[in-house]
Amino acid sequence: MSNPLVDMEKPDLIFCIGTNMTECHPVAATRLKKALSAGAKMIVADPRRIHLAELSHLYLPIRVGSDTALLLAMAHVIAREGLQNEEFIRERTVGGEDFIKHVEAFTPEWAAEITEVPAADIEKAALWYGQAEKGAIYYTLGITEHICGVENVQALCNLALMTGNLGREGTGINPMRGQNNIQGAGDAGAVPNNFPGFQPVFNPESNAKFRKLYGREIDDQKGITKVRALEMAAEGEMKAMFICGENTVVSDPERDHCEQALKNLDSLIVIDIFRTETAELADVFLPATSWGETDGSFTNTERRPQRIRAAVPPQGESKPDWWIFSQIGQRLGFEGFDFESAEQVFNEICSVSTIYAGLSWERIGKEALHWPVPSADHPGTPILHIGKFENGRGIFTNMKYRDPAETLSADYPVWLTTGRRLEAYHTRTMTGRAAGMDYLLPEELLEVHPQDITDWGLEDGAKAQISSPRGSVQIRVQANRRSPRGTVFCSFSFDEVPINRLTGSGYDPITETAELKVCPVRIEAL
């Protein structure tokens, strides 16, 4: 996020795309509601008429997988109407002139054919955002879980760069993280192309720093993504795998392939607080402590590290994740794994990460600080890009619209899109064990427009079979006008309804993120 959460109360114009914030980030969403109460306008682009759309001043019922077309057309209107911030483009960006020419071809009428959003509404959205004094963009997995996820994000960046909506209060490009420490995991180097602090593995200076720290040679090429790791396991090229705090079997696409890959390993070690569906496949299961039994830190979606403190003693033989990996590293004979506390682990991250350089275990226990914090006397950086971009200039990116990996056909004539529900967090590893949550949402349902139920010969409340080229799942049908005609929705949270058996038709070529938001299916009454 370029701006802190408190800034959600300050825009004049809020543009939410691919985010069901009131269900997936309900606490943060209260800040947007405050902004609306203060007079802000809100545009919501989403295939479903979610609650956020009900709160909006302009709802764009976009066809699944067509976000790039919408964003290109909005850029076209902003350029055509002369609403771009010429001074910002000239002084702080690269490629602006070429981009303005590039979007001349992408008219609202062109986009309307692809997105199924009226051209007049696309025009209105562009004018509102282009004319706003403080325009803020918020997005989540509805933008990134596509084969063009990177291009979707770059298209949003183009809008902000065009209008100068960066580096100021109440503006920015703000991805809402899907879990409490996703940002912290990336900060600590849990991505295949970066060391901690987003220092590239192929950078000689960074590589030398970490060779010295670890006392061994380090490959200077991009590492293996989870998608590739599962492929290698299935092919017999990878022999062992740690899975820590993730229920891969339920959450990953192409479930049958995923299970086959994990079973093909010589050794699967799972570290978790409960015996999940993935843990059932493990050769070794190591019980971890929960957040309430652990000293540690989270770094949340607004780049703010926070201390957590153990409130109760660990149950049984469970141990903190850091302790488990520390012990394994020592027993494998690796240098630098002799940690005795979470404090030591965090302080080591600070010692090698430029964005954490001014942080310490003691300091985050007393202060709310947003990285980058380059020195011990630095107050933190709640808003990024004030006055300048860290790497010099903002870069405009030219792209074109691409269809999803799979499109509708006679055999699979219905769009399926997946997501999360308020009552069932992720794969229900925790919420599925809470009686109150189970009472609120005892089973997964397939949202189908009432007219489609009639046309397809289904029955509200009865079970149907939903099929894709990868498999079939049985699920109970719910008449619901939130989903448009021709599009159905359900979450991936329930192991009893393994909807990820259907998904996984393609991946973004850069991030290898699965296209979980778009999947053509066939639905038949049972």
| pLDDT per position as a tens digit, 89-124 | 999 999 999 999 999 999 999 999 999 999 999 999
* Domain containing residue 196: CATH number: 3.40.50.740
Look at residue 424 in the predicted model and tell me its pLDDT.
82
Domain that holds residue 488: 414-525
Same domain, 208 and 140: no
**Residue type (1 letter), 382:** P
The whole-angstrom separation of Cα 59 and Cα 55 is 9
Same domain, 191 and 93: no
**Residue type (1 letter), 214:** Y
SS3 track for 378-416: CCCCCCCCCCCECCECEECCCCCCCCCCCCCCCCCCEEE
For 493, other C-beta atoms within 10 Å of its C-beta total 26
Same domain, 55 and 134: yes
Percent of the chain predicted with pLDDT > 70: 100
Structure tokens at 278: 């993935």
| 216 lies in some domain | yes
Look at residue 420 in the predicted model and tell me its pLDDT.
87
| 64 lies in some domain | yes
| Sign of torsion over alpha carbons 440, 272, 470, 17 | positive
pLDDT band at 421 (very low <50, low <70, confident <90, very high): confident
| 383 lies in some domain | no
| 404 lies in some domain | no
| 379 lies in some domain | no
pTM exceeding 0.85: yes
**Cβ neighbours of residue 516 closer than 8 Å, sequence gap 6 or more:** 141, 145, 253, 418, 492, 500, 503, 504
Q: Among 143, 176, 209, give the residue marking a domain's end.
A: 176
Domain total of the chain: 4
pLDDT(74) > 90: yes
The whole-angstrom separation of Cα 174 and Cα 177 is 9
* Domain containing residue 517: CATH number: 2.40.40.20
| 402 lies in some domain | no
Same domain, 356 and 424: no
| 319 lies in some domain | yes
Average pLDDT (322-335) is 94
| pLDDT per position as a tens digit, 387-404 | 999 888 999 999 999 999
| 299 lies in some domain | yes
| pLDDT per position as a tens digit, 376-385 | 999 999 999 9
Q: Among 324, 355, 374, give the residue marking a domain's end.
A: 374
* Domain containing residue 31: CATH number: 3.40.228.10
pLDDT band at 258 (very low <50, low <70, confident <90, very high): very high
Same domain, 143 and 27: yes
Report the relative pairing of strands 13-17 and 41-45 from DSSP bridges.
parallel
Same domain, 367 and 333: yes
Cβ pair 426, 420 in contact under 8 A: yes
Same domain, 212 and 357: yes
Look at residue 438 in the predicted model and tell me its pLDDT.
85
Distance of CA 171 to the CA centre of its chain: 20
Same domain, 434 and 309: no
Q: Among 249, 281, 313, give the residue marking a domain's end.
A: 281
Does residue 461 sit in helix, strand or coil? coil
Same domain, 263 and 363: no
Structure tokens at 335: 């240098």
Same domain, 189 and 55: no
Look at residue 362 in the predicted model and tell me its pLDDT.
95
Same domain, 86 and 11: yes
Same domain, 37 and 171: yes
The whole-angstrom separation of Cα 171 and Cα 85 is 14
- Nearest-5° Cα angle at 156, 153 to 160: 135
Q: Which has the closest alpha carbon to 163: 107, 99, 112?
A: 99
Does residue 377 sit in helix, strand or coil? coil
